[in-house]
């Protein structure tokens, strides 16, 4: 307390955006102070989000795969799940990665201050119960928090995603409020672990905003596995009683009053722009908590940058890390700018749904001209050998320039496969470039080449008679 730190660059927030910015700036020779409220680096993504959820999704997928092997004549019997061990494994993974980040920070001689920071002036930040930091430049990377549904009682059985990932127990009946990315990923985990899951989603379908043909295989799979999918429906009230959480629904597929052992609320995230004293630094924050930035990630105060969830949608770790590098490089005097053409998005459900660039939904909404071609995974030998022929790969093309505008995929590993599409769009590739790139056989990656061949009219894996699929 009472200590004063003088630093060239302050980074506020140690999530994927903040630590990437801090590391890059240190590598470029700046003296960097990183202020993070949590004891560990990595933010929500590493501690309470992407990484623990992917660890649990791996367990869920393994359980599903083991069950599916009975069709091939291989029986393991009913799984015995030791929740304590699964939780310990997940926590060890998180600890290993956050320990790794601490090591990387030490090697770069970064000063890491643990505590909640708030600006007290355009070049000063106070850390609660900690030092004052005088800075020449700053990068705000304070992330976002889950939206709370008004009217829901305070009760340990009503969880946000962080509480759900703590994996306290597996409820008998689980209600997931919100059929977006977080809701569907955690529904995948809990259903595989044995919970009877109901998803209630306000809009007409799961993963709103995503093309319906990509969501269909996911909807078909979960329809057979979950207790109910209530679309066009919302929760009107929930009461926590001794025998469970009593819920009343309203809407197109509203069921009568229901009792659940637990409720997970995943109805979106809000930026953390309010509450960091931004006004004392002169940084403008809008009424929702977002901070506007230019193409160099600068706020309205030129020596203060902002990156990640707090600057706008999509709230994705890989977008934050990219923006963090841009801000660090500009702060270090380099010529850098945010000129990413596309940002891939992935729902790590089973099957995975992934898209990058233009979607048909956005093209129709905005009147963007496009042509499309697709390849059904039912004709992919590799997909069928995995027992997963329900997938689809679809490309959208500019009819005038023939440039690839967007790609959507659904199927196992779609999240990994979409990276090739992101590179193709960044490189200005046309379907012909992808079609003439020899893809390894038999792999799921071929499905992108086959969709491109379908567009070019050169596909032999299906009989299209010269037509696009």
Residues that bind ligand NAD (CB under 6 A): 149, 177-183, 200-203, 208, 234-235, 266-269, 314-316, 345-348
In the complex, least distance from residue 310 CB atom to ligand NAD, rounded to whole angstroms: 12
- On the question of a cis peptide bond just before residue 368, with omega within 30 degrees of 0, the verdict is no
CA–CA gap between residue 140 and residue 309 (Å, rounded): 10
Torsion, CA 304, CA 129, CA 287, CA 144, rounded to 10? 80
What are the structure tokens assigned to 265, written together? 């609320």
Whichever of 28 and 274 has its CB closer to ligand NAD, that residue is: 274
**Coil, helix or strand at residue 128:** coil
In the complex, least distance from residue 342 CB atom to ligand NAD, rounded to whole angstroms: 14
Sheet holding 404-411, edge to edge: 345-347, 352-357, 404-411, 392-397, 371-376
What are the structure tokens assigned to 208, written together? 């709103």
Whichever of 9 and 165 has its CB closer to ligand NAD, that residue is: 165
Whichever of 219 and 398 has its CB closer to ligand NAD, that residue is: 219
Whichever of 267 and 330 has its CB closer to ligand NAD, that residue is: 267
CA–CA gap between residue 41 and residue 316 (Å, rounded): 17
Neighbours of 23 (CB within 10 A): 22
Beta bridge partners of 146: 269
In the complex, least distance from residue 131 CB atom to ligand NAD, rounded to whole angstroms: 32
In the complex, least distance from residue 349 CB atom to ligand NAD, rounded to whole angstroms: 9
E strand or H helix at 410 = strand 404-411
Whichever of 12 and 44 has its CB closer to ligand NAD, that residue is: 44
Neighbours of 72 (CB within 10 A): 8
CA–CA gap between residue 456 and residue 216 (Å, rounded): 26
User: Is 246 a catalytic site residue?
Assistant: no
Q: DSSP of 337-353, one letter per residue?
A: ----S---EEE-SSSEE
Whichever of 251 and 277 has its CB closer to ligand NAD, that residue is: 251
Whichever of 225 and 234 has its CB closer to ligand NAD, that residue is: 234
In the complex, least distance from residue 25 CB atom to ligand NAD, rounded to whole angstroms: 26
Beta bridge partners of 174: 197, 262
In the complex, least distance from residue 341 CB atom to ligand NAD, rounded to whole angstroms: 18
- The set of residues, in sequence order, having a beta carbon less than 8 Å from that of 468 and lying 6+ positions away, is 371, 372, 373, 454, 455, 457
Q: DSSP of 262-315, one letter per residue?
A: EEEE---EEE--TTS-HHHHT----TTS-----TT-B-SSTTEEE-GGGG-SS-
Whichever of 201 and 323 has its CB closer to ligand NAD, that residue is: 201
CA distances from 398 to 99, 209, 251, 380, 429 (A): 46, 21, 39, 26, 11
In the complex, least distance from residue 183 CB atom to ligand NAD, rounded to whole angstroms: 5
Please identify every residue annotated as catalytic: 441
């Amino acid at each position: 307390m009472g200590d004063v730190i003088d630093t060239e660059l302050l980074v506020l927030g140690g999530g994927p955006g903040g630590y990437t910015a801090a590391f890059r700036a240190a590598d470029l020779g700046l003296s960097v102070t990183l202020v993070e409220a949590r004891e560990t680096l990595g933010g929500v993504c590493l501690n309470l989000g992407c990484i623990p959820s992917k660890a649990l999704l791996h367990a869920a997928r393994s359980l599903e795969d083991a069950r599916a092997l009975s069709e091939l004549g291989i029986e393991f019997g009913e799984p015995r799940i030791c929740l304590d061990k699964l939780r310990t494994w997940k926590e060890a993974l998180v600890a290993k990665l956050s320990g790794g980040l601490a090591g990387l920070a030490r090697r770069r001689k970064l000063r890491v201050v643990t505590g909640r920071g708030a600006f007290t002036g355009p070049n000063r930040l106070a850390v609660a119960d900690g030092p004052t930091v005088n800075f020449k430049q700053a990068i705000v990377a304070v992330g976002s928090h889950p939206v709370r549904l008004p009217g829901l009682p305070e009760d340990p059985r009503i969880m946000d995603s962080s509480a759900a990932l703590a994996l306290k127990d597996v409820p008998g009946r689980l209600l997931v409020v919100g059929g977006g990315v977080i809701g569907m990923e955690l529904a995948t985990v809990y259903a595989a672990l044995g919970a009877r899951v109901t998803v209630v989603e306000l809009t007409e379908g799961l993963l709103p905003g995503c093309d319906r043909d990509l969501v269909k295989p996911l909807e078909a799979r979960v329809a057979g596995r979950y207790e109910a999918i209530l679309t066009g429906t919302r929760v009107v009230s929930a009461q926590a009683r001794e025998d469970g959480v009593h819920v009343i629904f309203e809407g197109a597929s509203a069921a009568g009053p229901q009792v659940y052992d637990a409720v997970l609320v995943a109805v979106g995230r809000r930026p953390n722009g309010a509450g960091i004293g931004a006004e004392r630094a002169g940084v403008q924050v809008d009424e929702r908590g977002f901070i506007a930035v230019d193409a160099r990630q600068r706020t309205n105060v030129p020596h203060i940058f902002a990156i990640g969830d707090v600057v706008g949608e999509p709230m994705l770790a890989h977008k934050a890390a990219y923006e963090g590098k841009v801000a660090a490089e500009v702060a270090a005097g380099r010529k850098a700018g945010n000129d990413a053409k596309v940002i891939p998005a992935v729902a790590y459900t089973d099957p995975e749904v992934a898209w990058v660039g233009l979607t048909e939904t956005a093209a129709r909404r905005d009147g963007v001209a496009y042509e499309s071609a697709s390849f059904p995974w039912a004709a992919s030998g590799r997909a069928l050998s995995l027992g997963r022929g329900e997938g689809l790969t679809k490309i959208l093309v500019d009819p005038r320039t023939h440039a690839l505008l967007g790609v959507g995929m659904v199927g196992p590993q779609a999240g990994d496969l979409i990276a090739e599409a992101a590179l193709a769009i960044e490189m200005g590739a046309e379907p012909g470039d992808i079609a003439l790139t020899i893809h390894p056989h038999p792999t799921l990656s071929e499905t992108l080449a086959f969709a491109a061949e379908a567009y070019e009219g050169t596909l032999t894996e299906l009989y299209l008679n010269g037509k696009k699929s």
